Structure 1
Amino acid sequence: MKSTLSPERTELKERWADYKLANPKTRIRDAAKALDTSEAELLATGLGENVQLLDGDFRDLIKEVGSLGHVMALTRNEHVVHERKGVYEKISFNNHVGLVLGEDIDLRLFLGDWKFGFAVSENDRFSLQFFNSFGEAAHKIYLTEKSNKEAYDALVIKYLAADQDVKLFVNEKTEKAAEPEEPANLDKAAFQQEWLALKDTHDFFTLLRKYKLSRKQALRNAPEGYAHRIKTESMKPLFDAISETGLPIMVFVSNPNCIQIHTGPISKIFVMGPWLNIMDPEFNLHLREDAIDEAWVVRKPTEDGIVTGIELIDKDGVMFNQFFGKRKPGIPELAEWPALIAQHSLPL
């Protein structure tokens, strides 16, 4: 099932080859941006060689990923990469919304716009990679030295697209809209009262929609003592303190198609250029500190008590990274967590 590249794909393949020669360390996502294309289209230049197009219902495929054993799950957005090793367990779907609730791999999947899937082999590294209709990476699954390669091969064969020459029709992204003005008729007192009456952190999204507030606007109108900004340079001292104390935390990274969560301690912290990194055996995080426009400490009431989070927001108003102390429904947050934030975050 070899693929015959179209003239357009051949031209892109050649441009990418030239780009890689000049920029050997550049990742494919950044190369796609430099070449004015999408990551999915760039990856598709390898069809018939090291890339195979997948087809079928991706929900069914995900349900079988547990057969691969120990793998690495990768979810990223423009500013942060979240890599977590483990086994896909407790997988379920309600229509196109999926849950993976294993001890290590913890995901919320939104498959409504999972448009393209590929099996990729590169330098003896094997992966399943999924992209949305804009050609942006939704979620990736990499084999590790502990994975079941035979199960991977069987899964690829089962979901291999019959037509490997298919043209990828990728939607063009529109320009990001400017943050709307805060509603002139905002009932701030009512908004704050509803904030104080929250029973679950997930209800916060409903609150924003009801009052037509962006996240930044909501935080600026928070009840007294429930949201305050900290310096954007706060994450390194906070990470160092978390590492030194061994406090287990929760690290959320999301894009429109997936939320990936790490729960546990963090250990090895270092900075390389603009990237603040956590490099532990089973969990890696790569955070662009220069993308943080505002950093907030946010407190939300729940039935289990106050939940304290750190929210990182970019210049477009997008909240792209969240941190909490380790907790589960029915269990109050660790008292050490807000104390650590108070002690080690840098006041604005």
Structure 2
Amino acid sequence: MDLRQAYADARAAGATRHRDIALSLGVTEGMLIDAHVGAPDGGLQAQRVRRDFPRLLSELSRAGELMALTRNPHCVHERTGVYEHLSVQGEPGREMGMALGEDIDLRLFYSHWAQGYAVREGEQQSLQFFDACGVAVHKVFARPATQFAAWQALRLRWTDPGAAPPQWRTEAPPAAADAPGVDADGFRAGWAALRDTHEFFGLLRRHGLTRRTAMHLAAPQFAQRVDRHAARVLLEGAAANATPIMVFVGNPGVIQIHGGPIKRVAMLGPWLNVLDPRFNLHLREDAIAEAWAVRKPTVDGLVSSLELYAQDGELIAQFFGQRKPGQPERCAWRQLLDAQVDDPVWSEETAGCAA
């Protein structure tokens, strides 16, 4: 198949999103982008970039304001700001990093990053990064306020005209599965003994559990299943009373976080959206198979969240009340979440929140 021509035909027929066009053609988005390496002016163009991704991202601050985009199959998270305070640790090929800017807040798992491109189509310019199958892990878009001289210099410095085409993996890695013989009582005791939300990942690993199975095994005072439309109710409530929240959306390569208030919440077809000037969220509400209200004990008191899961058990998104370490969560957030839970066990502990 001539992917360039097939893409041009799809565009002419009114298709807009690269991912959707790639799916319609039976390829991944990375394969579609790579097919446009060296394409002539006037349409989609791509250049491969050198694969030192931690260093590349560390230089993005020179370009000033950019838009960070991270998605999974059911949710897109877009945040405008500056890539600041980048850090990385770990051996080459297994690096983990963070971006802790005022606006752009990322957790980066570079072992899942395989290929990157500088992409241009019309006036839109971006850097796009994909896993070994060609599934997007993260994208960076130039914005009107971007410092374009620095952006162009960065693109020129990082493109690699001699890079060989990638050898895409055609089979995705197997999905996570639960270990046999789960110690449910030990897991519940470990949950009750948590003192930091980050300890939860280690708890899952020790007991060989996926997140969704953990929800089903949890004691009722720590996890309650709620209506799958709860995210809409929470977002509308947070917007109405100006409760600042945190929105986590990720894939194996990146977790992207918004922290702060939201203003405009709107349903557009099946999509639940936040449409603010510097933060956009696009969530397929019809893809939510399960929604859970979750509590984790910490040294700062209970930390509550809403977690959304797809039919295959993958985590779609998480919502928290915004807070800093050392601070209890806001009562306004807890009240929004508590209102979604029917079981009275959940509401027994109401102390330990901040006005």
- Structures share fold, TM-score greater than 0.5: yes
1:99-138 alignment runs, 5 A limit? 99-138=98-137
Q: 1:60 to 1:174 in 2, by over 3 A?
A: closer
Is residue 229–residue 347 contact of structure 1 (8 Å, CA) maintained in 2?
Answer: no
2:18 pairs, out of 12, 28, 46, with: 28
CA separation in 2, counterparts of 1:260 and 1:196? 27
Given residue 298 of structure 1, which amino acid in structure 2 is its aligned partner? V
Alpha-carbon distance, 1:281 to partner: 0.3
Q: Is the 8 A contact 2:86 2:98 kept in 1?
A: yes
How far does residue 137 in structure 1 lie from its aligned partner after superposition?
0.8
Partner of 1:104: helix, strand, or coil? coil
Equivalents in 2 of 1:131, 1:141: separation in Å? 12
Q: How much has 1:38 moved relative to structure 2?
A: 1.1
Shift in CA distance, 144/26, structure 1 to aligned 2, threshold 3 Å: closer
Residues matched between the structures, number: 334
Give 1:1-348 correspondences, 5 Å limit. 11-22=2-13, 24-48=14-38, 49=40, 50-95=45-90, 96-163=95-162, 166-174=164-172, 183=180, 185-343=181-339, 345=340, 347=342
For residues 288 and 346 of structure 1, do their structure 2 counterparts lie closer, same or farther at Cα, with a shift above 3 Å needed? farther
Residue aligning to 2:349: none
- Give the drift of 1:188: 2.6
CA 1:178 to 1:247, structure 2 compared with 1: closer, same or farther past 3 Å? closer
* Inter-partner Cα distance in structure 2 for 1:276 and 1:51: 31
**Which runs of 5 or more structure 2 residues have no equivalent in the other structure?**
344-355
Partner of 1:5: none
- The 2-side partners of 1:290 and 1:175 are apart by 25
Distance 1:213 1:52 in 2: 40
What secondary structure sits across from 2:132 in the alignment?
Answer: coil
**TM-score (norm: length of structure 2):** 0.89
**Mapped partners of 1:319, 1:294: distance in 2:** 10
Q: How far apart are the structure 2 equivalents of 1:207 and 1:167?
A: 40
CA-to-aligned-CA distance 1:253-309 (integer Å, 9 cap, x gap):
011100100000111111111110000000000000011000000000112111101
CA contact (8 A) 1:310 1:323 kept: yes
- 8 Å CA contact 1:179–1:317 kept in 2: the answer is no
Moved more, 42-51 or 85-94: 42-51
- Aligned to 2:129, the other structure's residue is in SS state strand
d(CA) in 1 for partners of 2:184, 2:113: 38
1:162, CA displacement in angstroms?
2.9
Residues 160 and 187 (structure 1), Cα distance of their counterparts in 2 relative to 1, 3 Å cut: closer
Aligned amino acid, residue 88 of structure 1: Y
Change (3 A) 1:221 1:98: same
C-alpha distance in 1 between matches for 2:175 and 2:129: 26
Taking the aligned partners of 1:133 and 1:211, their CA distance within structure 2 comes to: 29
Q: Shift of residue 157 of structure 1? A: 1.2
Moved more, 328-337 or 247-256: 328-337
Give the SS at the match of 2:229: helix
1:295–1:56 CA distance, 2 compared to 1 (3 A): closer
Residue type of the alignment partner of 2:188: Q
- The whole-number CA distance in structure 2 between the counterparts of 1:235 and 1:61 is 35
| Partner secondary structure for residue 109 of structure 1 | strand
Shift of residue 116 of structure 1? 1.2
Q: Deviation at 1:18?
A: 2.1
Distance 1:318 1:283 in 2: 23
Counterparts of 2:209 and 2:109 in 1: how far apart (Å)?
23
Corresponding residue number in structure 1 for 2:348: none
- Whether the aligned pair in 1 keeps the contact of 2:51 and 2:115 (CA below 8 Å) is no
How far, CA to CA, are the matches of 2:166 and 2:182 in structure 1?
A: 45
Deviations 1:190-245 (A, max 9, x none): 22111100111121122122222222221122123110011111222211111000
Return the alpha-carbon distance in structure 1 between the equivalents of residues 112 and 205 of structure 2. 22
Letter in 1 for 2:214: A
Pick which of 13-22 and 315-324 moved more.
13-22
Contact 2:273/2:282 (<8 A) preserved: yes
C-alpha RMSD of the superposition: 1.8
Report if aligned partners of 2:51, 2:116 keep a CA contact under 8 Å in 1: no
